[in-house]
């Protein structure tokens, strides 16, 4: 099983401890996600040091109006690194960043250009900005992974465009019926699961710091909703992650 989205550099504990517990739970691979330049360097260093870990590098939308965004040009050289598999996370956040949407949009478009030029998949954060996110992605021809999918309204355009849809711990919350219904509609070859560690712990461990081992709780809910076994769906998600992130390439 793979956790397709964790911030190992933002977790309190050492990656090694988290990965030991993940492996004990059957989670043998993690994509760790950079949220800025230093964070992306840290993500790559963690990936280098640990079997089964790869990295996405990017500057998150929350920093779009800060000096960090001016370092966007530094991302390109990070892709000479063999552990760098994806661009992101990037996107638009109208919930925490309603006042910086123009800056977010510029930073997002710069990430999309990079992903297009390097032919890498892009990991998307979209919150309370569905229409704008869909519009910005429309001309992008590469692989799209919608991380922490939380906006059922975005499902139809996403499915039409063949995006990968990754579900996080919030799909396990009691009030998340609409999200669970959305999960049941994602085609077998497009569904992914993630923790978004250290955030968003799934229901059985809600309120604690999240970690990659906990992706199994999200997997269990997704499988139940889809009428599949967790083992079947776990294998399927492993295969989907290989395709989405280009893992297992020589």
Residue 6 CA to residue 166 CA, distance in Å, equals: 12
We find the least distance from the C-beta atom of residue 237 to Zn ion, in angstroms, to be 17
**228: which 2 tokens?**
């599949």
How many alpha carbons lie under 13 Å from residue 89 in its C-beta half-sphere?
25
Where does this chain touch Zn ion (CB under 5 A) — which range of 67-75, 77-85, 196-204, 214-222? 196-204
Where does this chain touch Zn ion (CB under 5 A) — which range of 23-31, 194-202, 230-238, 239-247? 194-202
We find the least distance from the C-beta atom of residue 90 to Zn ion, in angstroms, to be 11
We find the least distance from the C-beta atom of residue 49 to Zn ion, in angstroms, to be 20
We find the least distance from the C-beta atom of residue 109 to Zn ion, in angstroms, to be 20
Looking at residue 209, what DSSP letter applies?
Answer: P
**Cα 45 to the center of its chain, rounded Å:** 18
We find the least distance from the C-beta atom of residue 70 to Zn ion, in angstroms, to be 22
Q: Which residue, 35 or 130, has its beta carbon nearer to Zn ion?
A: 35
Q: Which residue, 11 or 226, has its beta carbon nearer to Zn ion?
A: 11
The answer to whether 28 and 63 are in contact (CB under 8 A) is no
Q: Are strands 53-57 and 2-6 parallel, antiparallel or unpaired?
A: unpaired
Q: Which residue, 9 or 196, has its beta carbon nearer to Zn ion?
A: 196
DSSP bridge pairs for 6: 32, 197
We find the least distance from the C-beta atom of residue 80 to Zn ion, in angstroms, to be 24
Number of residues that bind Zn ion (CB under 5 A): 1
Q: To 10 degrees, the CA torsion angle through 241, 234, 6, 181? A: 100
φ, ψ for residue 11, nearest 5 deg: -85, 150
State the helix-helix crossing angle for 130-137 and 101-118, rounded to 10 degrees.
30
**224: which 2 tokens?**
């139940």
Q: Which residue, 124 or 226, has its beta carbon nearer to Zn ion?
A: 124
Q: Which residue, 3 or 225, has its beta carbon nearer to Zn ion?
A: 3
Where does this chain touch Zn ion (CB under 5 A) — which range of 66-74, 150-158, 188-196, 236-244? 188-196
Q: What residues have CB less than 8 Å from 243, skipping those under 6 apart?
A: 189
The closest residue (CB) to Zn ion is 196
**What is the sign, positive or negative, of the torsion defined by CA atoms of 17, 21, 27, 28?**
positive
Where does this chain touch Zn ion (CB under 5 A) — which range of 79-87, 95-103, 190-198, 201-209? 190-198
Where does this chain touch Zn ion (CB under 5 A) — which range of 44-52, 62-70, 181-189, 195-203? 195-203
We find the least distance from the C-beta atom of residue 51 to Zn ion, in angstroms, to be 22
Q: Which residues bind Zn ion (CB under 5 A)?
A: 196
């Amino acid at each position: 099983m793979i956790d397709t989205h964790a911030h190992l550099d933002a977790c309190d504990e050492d990656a090694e401890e988290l990965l030991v517990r993940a492996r004990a739970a059957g989670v043998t691979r993690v994509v760790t996600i950079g949220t800025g330049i230093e964070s992306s360097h840290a993500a790559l260093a963690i990936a280098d040091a640990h079997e089964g870990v790869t990295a996405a590098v990017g500057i998150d939308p929350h920093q779009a109006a800060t000096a960090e965004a001016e370092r966007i040009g530094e991302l390109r050289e990070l892709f000479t690194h063999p552990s760098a598999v994806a661009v992101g996370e990037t996107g638009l956040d109208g919930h925490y960043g309603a006042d910086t949407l123009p800056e977010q949009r510029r930073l997002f478009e710069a990430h999309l250009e990079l992903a297009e030029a390097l032919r890498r998949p892009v990991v998307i954060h979209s919150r309370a900005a569905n229409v704008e996110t869909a519009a910005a992605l429309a001309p992008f021809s590469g692989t799209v992974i919608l991380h922490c999918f939380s906006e059922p309204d975005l499902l139809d355009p996403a499915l039409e465009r063949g995006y990968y849809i990754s579900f996080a711990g919030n799909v396990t919350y009691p009030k998340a019926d609409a999200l669970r219904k959305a999960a049941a509609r994602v085609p077998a070859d497009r569904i992914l699961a993630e923790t978004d560690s250290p955030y968003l712990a799934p229901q059985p461990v809600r309120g604690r710091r999240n970690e990659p081992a906990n992706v199994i709780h999200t997997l269990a809910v997704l499988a139940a909703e889809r009428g599949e076994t967790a083992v079947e769906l776990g294998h399927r998600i492993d295969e989907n992650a290989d395709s989405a992130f280009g893992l297992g390439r020589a």
